[in-house]
Structure 1
C-alpha cells in the first residue's frame, strides 16, 4: 500500500520496483521545486515501448512537445500525440495497447489554476489540473521524473498533489549594464524558468532598448528591439510565463542624461529632474514604445537609488516640502500616467520610500512595492512590515549575488533567498522577484541558474525545503547527472568568497595585478593561494564529471567552469609570482654564470601565465557570444589583452636579461625589473645591506655581562621618523636565543638605552630583534649596538614605557604600556577597552565587551567569530598577539613600548574596518563636541549621535582620518599603504573612525591618546613613520665576540 509524504515530513525507506530511492524514501526523488505531497506506489512504469500522449486543454501542443522532447533526450521512443476533446486540462502518457485508463486523484479542496496532480501507475502517467497553468506544472514534474529519476526506461510509480505557495515567481535578466541577451538566449531562459515552475520573467532596462522616438538612447548593436520583445511575449505565453516590463524612471538615468539632448533634464548626472514637465513627456515617450507590447497588467518603473535628489533643480521644492515628498510626488505622476493612459498597475522598488516613511501614504495603495535586499540576513521583516501594514501588495526581491563577481556568491544567495522569501510568505507576499544584476558588464548568465533554481524552490514552497536536499537534487534536475557532483561543486565554490586574500571573489580580484607588491606577506600569500587551489581544483573536477554525464543544459556548466578556472588562475599566479621573484633574486645575488638557467625558468613561468590569460580571454568571448549581442564585449576582452601584454612584456624583458647575462653583463636589480618582493602587510625584517665588519669594534662595551654584540645603522631615508619600530631577522648562534639583551643608540654624546627584545622565530638559528627608536630625522642615521648573551637572572623592574601583557577574565588579555591599557577579547579579536592613562585611565571605546563595540572591527562573519589569541611577543619593546578565527582571518595586533597607537595587520585585505568609540567623546550633541580631519585637508565639526549613519563624513582616496578636541586628545585611523575611503562618525553604531566601501587595506594604525601637537602633524608622523612601502634602510654589521 502506498503512503503520503508531505513536504518537510520524516520519510522512511521506499523501494519502487527496480528503482531504489534509499533511506530518504519519497524525499529521495530529485525534483525542483519539490512537490507539496508525494505518495509512493509499488513498482515502476516502463517508457521503453511505443507511447501515446493524450492531451486535452488549452496548452496541449506545448505540453505534448515537452514530454516528447524529454523522452527523445532520454533516448526513448518519441510518442504519438493524440489531442482529446474537452475542456479539462489533462495529459496521459500511455502505451497504445493499454485500454484501462487510470483516474487521477482529486485536486485539493479550493484548488487554484496552478494546482495539479500527477499519477504514475499501471503502465501510464496521468497529469490533471484545473487550468492550463497547472497542467504545464504537472507536465514539467513528469519531465523531471524522466530526466532525473529514471532507471533505464523505468520511472517510479507515485502520486503527487502539488501547488505553489506564492502567486508570482519571477526571475530577471539585466539587459542594460553591457550584456544584452539575444532573443534566442531570452527564449532559453524562459524555457528553463518554466521547467522550474517560475511563471514570470522580467528584464532590467535603463537605456539598451531601440526607442524609435529617441534613437540616440540605445546603443546600435546592444539594444533590445521592439519586435524581439513582442516575439518573447508570444514565445513565453504557451509555456505559462508572463513578461513583466521594466523601465528606469528616476534614478539610474545617467546613460540617457549623458546625451546633450537630455542634459537639461538632469537633477544630477544620474537622476531625472522631477520638477521639469519635459521629464514626464520623455517618460511617456519611452513607455509608449514598450508598455503596449506587454499584456501583463503590471509594469515596473524602478525609481530606486535616487541619490542626490533635492540637490539639483528640485532643491528649492525639497527645502520647502522635504525630499521624501518630492520623491512621492514624482511617483504619483508616474503612477497616474501608467494607470490612466496605459491601464497598467505600477510596481516600484521600495528602498527610497522606506527612508521617508512619513511620505509613504502619498503613494497610491494600488502600487505594488518591490522590497529588495541582497545580504544574507537572518530576518527581512523590517523591509516588509511597513508595506504590509500600510495596505500595499508587495513582492520580495532577493538576488543571486552574481554582480561584479567571478562566480555568484552562492552561500550568501542561499541564505538571502531563503530568509527573504520565508518572511515574505509569512506576511502575505504577492510574489518573489529573484534579481540578477550585471553591474560591471562582465557577467554571463549561466552561473546565475543555481540561484534562480533555489529561488524557484523557495517561492514554490515558502522556503520550507532544506538547502541540503535541494543541493542533492539540483544537478540531476538541471543536467540529468546520476550523482550530486554539481551540488558538491557549488558547496566548494561557495567557500571561495570567504577565503582570505580573495576580495570576496569580485571580478576586481581577478584583475588585481599579482605581479605588483604583495598585499600581505610571502607566507600569507602562499597560504592563501594554497587554500584557494585546494578548494577550487576539486570543484572543477566535480563540474567536469557533471558535464560528462549531462543529458541536458550541458552548455550552462561551461559558465561555472569558466569562473572556477579564473579562480584557479588567481591562486596559481600568486604562487608563480613568488617563485619568479625568488628565482630572479637568486640569479641576481648569485654567481653570474648560474643566472641564465634561473632566468629561463622564470621566463617560462611568466609565459605560462600569459598563455593562461589569453586562453581565458578567448573562452570569455565564446561564452559571451553564446548569450549576447556583440555590444560591450570589447570592454572585458580588452582587459584580457592588457593582461596578456603585461605578462608578455615581462617575459621578453627576462629573455633580454638572460641574453645579456650569457654575454657577461650584470643583472639589473629586482626593483628595476619590478620583481622585488615588497610585502605591504608586514614590516620589512631583512637588512638592506650586510657589512662583514663589526660596527666600531673599538667602541667601549656598554654591557659588561654581554658575550656578543651586533651593530646596525638605521637610515631614516626620505621621511622623518618618530617612535620608529625596528624588527630585524638576524642569524644567531643557538646559545644566544632566549637570552636577555640590551641595546644602546650611540650617536649622542652619551649613549641612550633603547627598549629591545629578542624573540625566537620558526627558522632555526634565527631570532627576531625588536627595538624602538624615538626619532631619526630625514636622511639622518642612528647607530645602534645590541648586546647579546646576558645572563637570565632578574634584570630588575622594567622601564616605565615598557609594554607588558597579562591575562584578563573570559579568555581576554591586557596589553599595557605607559600611555595606554588595552583589553583584547577573543570575540572578533576586538579591543574592547582602550584606557588613556594621560586622561585618568578613561576608556574611549563604545561600552561593551561583545559584538561591534570596541576597536578593530572588520564586520561580517568575523565580528562574532571566536579567535585563538596567540602571544608571539611579550615585551618589553613589543607585545604582539596573532588572532585567528574559524573563517581563516588572521588579525595581528601589536602594541609597542611608549606608543599611544596600535598596529593591526590582516592576512586578507578588507574594505571595512572600524573603531567604534563612545559618542560622549566627540559627538556634536555630546558633552565635548569635536572636529574631524582627513589627510586631504577636509575638516569640520563631528556630527550628532542622533543623526546616526547620516552623520558620517566620507573622504575617498585618503590615507587617514581623525577626530579630535584641540590641545586635548585625538582618535585616528591610518592606512599607511592604501588610499581608501576613510569615514568619520559621531560614535556608537554609526562608527567612530573607519574605512568603508572604498578600497582595500590590510595594515591599520589606530591612535587614541593625548594631543601635544597639531592633529595633522601627529597623523602625518604616524603615516610617514609606519608606511611599509617606505621603510627605513637598515645596515647590519657583523657580530662581535667579547
Structure 2
C-alpha cells in the first residue's frame, strides 16, 4: 500500500512538474515572441507606404448629374418646359406605363402636355437609343424595347436635374458591355425582405443595370423538398417571392438569374444529419491553422450530384431566365480526403472538371446556359481545353491589382465567353474600402472591354455575418453601373452628386462624401489587408494578446498560396510586408470629424416623407458603422497598450468598450430588421456576444485585482505563447 502511495505521489509530483514546465516553456515562448515583436515595431516607419488612392474628377464640364453619363450629347438653342404632364405616341405597349412610373404628371392628355414620340430605327444596337429634346416635344429612336426604356431612364434623370425646363438637347447613347450585373449575397445570415430587393432593383434600373443574381448557399432559398432542414430556424426567400421579384425585374429590363452553389460552400448542408456523409472530409479539413471546416461535397459519391439535381429542380422553375450560375468555386477540401485516391491518379483538376461536367449536363437538360466562377480554372489552366465552349466563365478578383487583363486574355484565347467580376469591397470591413473598390472595378471593366468580355458582374458579399449596411455598397453600385455602360468616364464622372440625389436621397448633398471618407478608414491601419480590414477582424479575434494576433496573421499569410494561388499571393505578400504602425489617434480624429458631420443636421431633419425617413435611417446606418470601426480600433489599441496602463486606466477603457458595444448591438439589431428578415440575425451577432463575455470577464478580473488578475494574465500569456509556438 505504501509503495502504491509513493508511486502515486511520484506521478502527481511528476505531473505538477510537467505542467509547471509547460507553463514555463510557453511563458518563455511568449516573452521571446513579445520581445521580437517589440523590436520589429520599433523598426517600423510611423506610417507604411501610402495605401493606393483612386482619384475621381467631377465632370463639371458636362453639367449633367446622370449616371451612366451618355456617350454623346449636345446642347442646342431653345428650351422645353415640362408643363404638367406627358402624352405618348408609340407602338410599344409598355411605353405609357414607363412614363407613369418615371415621369409622373398631374394631367393626362391635354394641349399643354409634352409629347414623347418613340420610333423604331434599325441599326442602332440592341440597347442603344437616340434622344432629342426640342421646344416641340421629345423624340426617341430605338432598335429594341430595352433601348427605348433606357431613353426614358435618361429622360427621368434630366427631369430630376432640370425640374422646370430644359435646354434643347441631343443624345446618342449605347452601352460598352452587354451584361451589366450585380450579384448580392443573401446567404451569410442576412436575407433581405422583398421590399428591400424591389427598392434595389429600382436603383439598379436607374443605373441601367440589366442583370441581377441573389447568391444562394445553405438555406437562404426556401427549398420545398428540404423544408424539414430549414423551416424551424431560417427565414429564406420563398419561391413566391422569387416569382414576384422576377416579374418586377422584367418590367425594368433586368434579368433575374438563378444562383446556387454546386460543390464548395456547402457547409450548411453538410452540418445536417441527413447530408453529413456527403462531405469530402467527414472529419473536417484544416483550412486555417486550428480551424477545421467541412464545406465541399464528395464528388465521388453519386448522392452528391443527386442532391444538387434536387436542389436545382426546386430552385430553377421560379426564374424565367435561361441562365444558371452554378458557382463551383472554392472547393477547398477537394482531393484531400475521400477523393484523394482519385486525385492522385488523375489530378485534382480532372476531379473538379468531372463535377463541372455533371452540373453542366443537369443545366443543359433543363434548358439553362451554365455560368461558373473561374478561380479553379485559374489554378488549373489546362482545364480550359476540355471545357464545353458554351459555358460562361466568371473571372473574379476583389483587389485593385487583380490580373484581370492576363486572366481574361487566356480565357478569350480558348474561345470561352466570360464576364469580369469585381467587388464592392464592403464585406469584412464594416464601412468599406473606397479606393480599393474604385480601382478594382475600373481594372475589371477596362480589362474586360479590352479582351472582349460579355459583361461585368459586380459582387457584394457578406462573409462572417454580413455586418456592413447596404449603403456601404452604394458607391460601388453606382460606379460599376456607370463605367460598364460608358467606360471613358471611369475617372471623370459626377459620382457623389448622383449618389446623394438618387441613392442616399440627401437634399443636403453630404452623405455620399461622408460614406466615401468612411470607406477610407482602413488607411489608418498598419497594413492593407486583402478582402478585409484589421478593425473588422478585431471582432473575430476578440480581446486577444498582440502576440496571439500576430501569430494568427502569420499563419494566414502562410496559407495564402494554397487559397489564392501563387500569382495572387505575390500581390498579397507585398501587402503583408508593407507594414507601418497602427495610427489609432489619427483614425479617431478622422472618425470624430465624420461623426460631427453626421450629427450636425440630426435636429434639422423633418421626417415628413418616405424619402426623408430613408435618408435619416441611412444616416443612422453610417453612424453605427462608424461606431463599429471605432470599437474595433479600441479593441486593438487595448491589446497593444494594456501593459502600459494602470488598473484604473484599464478599467476605464474596458468600461468604455462595454458601453459602446451595448449601444452598437441594440442599434444593429434595429437597423438589420428594417431591411432584412430575422432569420440569421442571432447567428450573425455571435461575435458581438462573445466579445461582451470577454469584456465582462476582464472587467471582473481587473476589479478583483490581486491573484485573480495575475492568474488571468498568466493564462493569457501561456495560451498566446503556446499558439505562437504551435503555428511557428
Match of 1:479 among 494, 504, 508: 504
> What SS does the aligned partner of 2:663 have?
helix
Q: CA deviation at 1:168?
A: 0.8
The answer to whether the 8 Å contact 2:212/2:254 transfers is: yes
The count of residues paired between Structure 1 and Structure 2 equals 614
For 2:154, the equivalent position in structure 1 comes to: 141
Q: Distance in 2 between matches of 1:652 and 1:671?
A: 9
> Between Structure 1 and Structure 2, which shows a larger proportion of strand residues?
1
Normalised to the residue count of structure 2, the TM-score between the two structures is: 0.75
Q: Which residue of 1 aligns with 2:188?
A: 177
Counterparts of 1:1009-1020 in structure 2, within 5 Å, are none
Matching residue of 1:50: 84
> Displacement, 1:480?
4.6
Map of 1:453-468 to 2, 5 A cutoff?
Answer: 453-462=478-487, 464-466=489-491
The aligned residue for residue 672 of structure 1 is 709
1:574, distance to aligned residue in structure 2 (A): 7.2
Q: 2:546–2:640: 8 Å Cα contact kept in structure 1?
A: no
Give the drift of 1:517.
6.7
The alignment status of 1:33 with 2:33, answered yes or no, reads: no
Distance, in Å, in 1 between the alignment partners of 2:181 and 2:480 is 9
Q: Does 1:614 align with 2:658?
A: no
Deviation at 1:482, TM superposition (A): 5.6
Q: 1:528 is matched with which residue: 583, 588, 596?
A: 583
Q: Distance in 2 between matches of 1:652 and 1:566?
A: 24
Instruction: Name the CA distance, whole Å, in 2 between partners of 1:384 and 1:471.
Output: 31
Which among 441, 445, 467 is matched to residue 417 of structure 1? Answer: 441
- The CA distance in 2 between the partners of 1:575 and 1:284, in whole Å, is 50
TM-score by structure 1 length?
Answer: 0.53
**Per residue, is there more helix in 1 or in 2?**
2
User: Where in structure 2 are there 5+ consecutive unaligned residues?
Assistant: 1-56, 282-293, 551-578
1:939-1018 to structure 2, matched below 5 A, reads 957-959=723-725, 982=728
Change (3 A) 1:576 1:289: closer
Match of 1:206 among 217, 227, 249: 217
SS of corresponding position for 2:123:
coil
Please give the per-residue CA displacement for 1:668-719, whole angstroms capped at 9, x wherever unaligned: 469938999x999xxxxxxxxxxxxxxxxxxxxxxxxxxxxxxxxxxxxx9x
Matched, 1:346 2:382: no
Partner of 2:622: 560
Counterpart of 1:406 in structure 2 is 430
Q: Is the 8 A contact 1:329 1:362 kept in 2?
A: no
Kindly indicate whether the alpha-carbon contact (under 8 Å) linking 1:485 and 1:546 is maintained by their aligned counterparts in 2.
no
Look up the SS of the partner of 1:38 in the other structure.
strand
User: Which runs of structure 2 are paired with 1:285-684 in the superposition (5 Å)?
Assistant: 285-339=310-364, 341-377=365-401, 379-443=403-467, 444-462=469-487, 464-466=489-491, 469-481=494-506, 485-501=510-526, 504-510=533-539, 513=542, 528-542=583-597, 554=615, 555-571=617-633, 584=646, 607-644=655-692, 647=695, 668=705, 672=709
Cα distance change, pair 359–123 in 1 and its aligned pair in 2 (3 A): same
Q: SS of the counterpart of 1:290? A: helix
Secondary structure at 1:311 match in 2:
coil
Deviation at 1:527, TM superposition (A): 7.6
Residues 126, 480 of structure 1: alpha-carbon distance in 2 compared, 3 angstrom cutoff: farther
Cα pair distance change 1:495/1:344, threshold 3 Å? same
**Alignment RMSD:** 3.9
1:77-98 Cα offsets, whole Å, 9 max, x none, are: x43346xxxxxxxxxxxx7326
Following the alignment from structure 2 to structure 1, what is the Cα–Cα distance between the partners of residues 434 and 211? 23
Deviation at 1:398, TM superposition (A): 0.9
Q: 1:424 to 1:263 in 2, by over 3 A?
A: same
Out of 187, 208, 232, the residue aligned to residue 197 of structure 1 is 208
Change (3 A) 1:166 1:81: farther
Deviation, structure 1 residue 357: 2.0
**Alignment partner of 2:267 out of 254, 262, 269:** 254
Residues 422 and 463 in structure 1, CA contact (< 8 A), matched pair in contact too: no
Shift of 1:60: 2.6
Structure 1 residue 434, shift from structure 2 partner: 0.5
What aligned pairs does 1:584-983 form with structure 2 within 5 A after superposition? 584=646, 607-644=655-692, 647=695, 668=705, 672=709, 957-959=723-725, 982=728
Deviation of 1:160 after TM superposition, in Å, equals 2.1
Q: Say if 1:575 and 1:337 are closer, same or farther in 2 by CA, change over 3 A.
A: closer
Give per-residue Cα distances to partners, 1:198-242, cap 9 Å, x unaligned: 011001111222222233444542322111111111111101111
**Distance (whole Å) between structure 2 residues aligned to residue 501 and residue 213 of structure 1:** 49
CA distance in 1, matches of 2:106, 2:302: 61
Instruction: Provide the residue aligned with 2:20 in structure 1.
Output: none
User: Is residue 2:115 matched to residue 1:96?
Assistant: no
CA deviation vs aligned residue, 1:542-591 (integer Å, no higher than 9, x gap): 55679959769524444333212322344567789999998855x7xxxx
Structure 1 residue 24 and structure 2 residue 60: aligned? yes
Q: Are 1:80 and 2:92 matched, yes or no? A: no
SS at match of 1:260: coil
Secondary structure at 2:370 match in 1: strand
Q: Deviation per CA, 1:146-183, whole angstroms, max 9, x where unpaired?
A: 33x23x63445422221111111110111222111222
Q: Distance in 2 between matches of 1:349 and 1:526?
A: 37
**Shift of residue 300 of structure 1?**
0.7
Does the residue aligned with 1:626 lie in a helix, a strand or coil?
helix
Task: Give the direction of change, closer, same or farther, for the CA distance of 1:513–1:392 in structure 2 (3 Å limit).
Answer: closer
In 1, distance between residues paired with 2:345 and 2:581? 59
Is the CA contact (8 Å cut-off) linking 1:328 and 1:353 kept in structure 2? no
- Would the aligned equivalents of 1:300 and 1:347 in 2 still touch at CA under 8 Å? yes
Q: Please, which of 238, 245, 249 is the counterpart of residue 251 of structure 2?
A: 238
- 2:38 is aligned to none
Higher relative contact order (CA 8 A, sep 6+): 2
In structure 1, distance between residues paired with 2:116 and 2:239: 47
1:36, distance to aligned residue in structure 2 (A): 0.7
> Could you report, residue by residue, the CA deviation over 1:895-932 in whole angstroms, capped at 9, with x for unpaired residues?
xxxxxxxxxxxxxxxxxxxxxxxxxxxxxxxxxxxxxx
In 2: Cα distance, 1:413 partner to 1:431 partner? 18
| SS of aligned partner of 1:452 | helix
Equivalence for 2:21: none
Unaligned residue ranges in structure 1 (runs of 5+) = 1-10, 12-21, 72-77, 83-94, 588-597, 658-666, 681-717, 719-934, 937-956, 960-978, 983-1042
CA contact (8 A) 2:183 2:215 kept: yes
**Contact 1:606 / 1:647 at 8 angstroms: preserved in 2?**
yes
Instruction: Work out the CA distance in 2 between the residues paired with 1:625 and 1:375.
Output: 31
CA contact (8 A) 1:614 1:640 kept: no
